[in-house]
Structure 1
Amino acid sequence: MRREWLRQTLSLFFLVGFSIGIKAAWAQDKGITIVTGDDYPPITSQKLKHGGLGLRIVMRAFELAQFPVEKVKWQPWARGYSLTQSGVLDAAFPWGPTPERYKIFYFSDPILHMTNYAYVLEKSDVSIHQRKDLKGKVYCNPNGYGDFGVIKELKEKNLMKREAPLNMVSCFKMLKEGRVDLVVSPQWDADYGISGAKLDMDTVRREPMKVAQTPLSLIVSLKNKRGPEIISAFNKGLKKMKETGEFIRIYHEFGFDEFLEPNS
């Protein structure tokens, strides 16, 4: 009787242990969930092939690193950022580094580099050639978008005021209505915003001064236990893409060649 009880106990112990091992292995192999925002062509857009250049690069990098991505979610920028910060979602892109963000996120190697300019109405007497020209101005930068460079510095000193509507189209509508002095944007996003606001391209002027230059990356919360693993895998895949020339080919595919950084 005792021998039979021992056999059954050992069998049960083995089955439980085996089950736990299977669950642990499954959890380890489970793919991550990535979040990004829509209407940021050609970087991200559900209307574009592969979801845009940025999503194409991100998915391909993880594929080359043999790191599974289970799902891609499309969320408003601020919400996607918040869900990633809390660890509900694993990774978000594309985001630029700030001192505040470095305290809560891991940052990957850059996916692309962004240069921001000031856009004003052609008929406006606003002229942005140097830092002092920005003082006292009201600018538009959509909700969830970061402030960088001289714009960030002046806003933090209360020398500029920010309006932050839902998207870049709304920013250019505000510019059209005279509610802001300028819109801060990279060229690709400005082209989209101007078109969406039903403005003629020749009614908007891009000022020559580069108000910010920053890399855009994949981010993972410091709260995420797999954070270093996720970032390492992504960087590994991105490096392979650059070594084989695939990174540049994807830029060509989306007609984005002029925005390639030297030595990409």
Structure 2
Amino acid sequence: MRREWLRRVVSLFFLVAFFMGTKGAWAQDKGIIIATGDDYPPITSQKLQYGGLGLRIVMRAFELGELPVQKVKWQPWARGYSLTKSGVIDAAFPWGPTPERNHFFYFSDPILHMTNYAYVLEKSDVSIHQREDLKGKVYCNPNGYGDFGVIKELKEKNLMTREAPLNMVSCFKMLKQGRVDLVVSPKWDADYAISGAKLNMEIIRREPMKVAQTPLSLIVSLKNKRGPEIISAFNKGLKKLKETGEFIRIYHEFGFDEFLEPNS
């Protein structure tokens, strides 16, 4: 009788363990939730195929890294950042490292590299060739976008003033209206924004000085217990993308070849 009782207990134990393991596997198979913004073409945009170059790279990297993405949430930049920081969303992109962000996030290997320039009105007397030329200027950089390089340094010393509207299109409209001295932007974002603002390219001048250069990556909160796993899977997949040549093909597909870093 006692043996029968022990046999049933042992059987029940293994049955419970089996279902717990199955439940854990099911939970893991649901994958992760990632966030990005909808107004950063050709990197991210719901109007573009695959949601843009950046989302295409991110999804393929996770696929090759064997970590499924359950859902992509299109969020305003600041909100997506906040939800990822708190761990509500597992990962977000594309974000550049700053001393502040480094306290809260893991950063993946770079998805792309960003070079920012100062854009001014062609008729403007503003000329940006060196650091001193930026002092005292009012610049536009959308809400949720990071400040980098010399712009960040001068802003933190109160030597520049920032205007932060909703998006880059609004920045160029403000430039046209004379509300800011310059717009800080990478070339690809500026090209789309000037067109989106219905402005003639000939009235805008891009200054030659590179005001910032920074890598853009996938971020995961340090609070996220799966953080190291997520970053590892992504980096693994991104490496495979580059080794097979698919990374370059994606850039080519979006006409983005000029922004490829050497040895990509």
TM-score range, shorter-chain basis?
A: over 0.9
Following the alignment from structure 1 to structure 2, what is the Cα–Cα distance between the partners of residues 147 and 239? 28
Does residue 136 of structure 2 align to residue 159 of structure 1? no
Q: Residue 48 of structure 1 aligns to which amino acid in structure 2?
A: L
Match of 2:42 in 1: 42
Q: Residue 106 of structure 2 aligns to which amino acid in structure 1?
A: Y
Match of 1:103 in 2: 103
Deviations 1:23-45 (A, max 9, x none): 22222333111110012111001
User: Structure 2 regions of 5+ residues with no counterpart?
Assistant: none
Q: Residue 189 of structure 2 aligns to which amino acid in structure 1?
A: D
Name whichever of 239-248 and 128-137 sits farther off. Answer: 239-248
SS of 1:99's partner is coil
Q: Residue 197 of structure 1 aligns to which amino acid in structure 2?
A: A
TM-score with structure 1 setting the length: 0.96
Match of 1:125 in 2: 125
User: Structure 1 regions of 5+ residues with no counterpart?
Assistant: none
TM-score with structure 2 setting the length: 0.96
Match of 1:191 in 2: 191
1:232-243 correspondence to structure 2 within 5 Å: 232-243=232-243
Match of 1:65 in 2: 65
Following the alignment from structure 1 to structure 2, what is the Cα–Cα distance between the partners of residues 159 and 31? 45
Following the alignment from structure 1 to structure 2, what is the Cα–Cα distance between the partners of residues 8 and 231? 44
- The alignment covers a number of residue pairs equal to 264
SS of 2:61's partner is helix
Name whichever of 189-198 and 5-14 sits farther off. Answer: 5-14
Match of 2:90 in 1: 90
Following the alignment from structure 2 to structure 1, what is the Cα–Cα distance between the partners of residues 64 and 119? 39
Deviations 1:208-254 (A, max 9, x none): 10000000000100011111111111111111111111111111100
Name whichever of 27-36 and 53-62 sits farther off. Answer: 27-36
Deviations 1:93-140 (A, max 9, x none): 000011111111000000000000000111111111100000000000
SS of 1:224's partner is coil
Following the alignment from structure 1 to structure 2, what is the Cα–Cα distance between the partners of residues 263 and 2? 70
By how many angstroms is 1:4 displaced? Answer: 6.7
Following the alignment from structure 1 to structure 2, what is the Cα–Cα distance between the partners of residues 79 and 132? 34
Q: Residue 86 of structure 2 aligns to which amino acid in structure 1?
A: S
Match of 2:171 in 1: 171
Match of 1:18 in 2: 18
Match of 1:226 in 2: 226
By how many angstroms is 1:19 displaced? Answer: 2.4
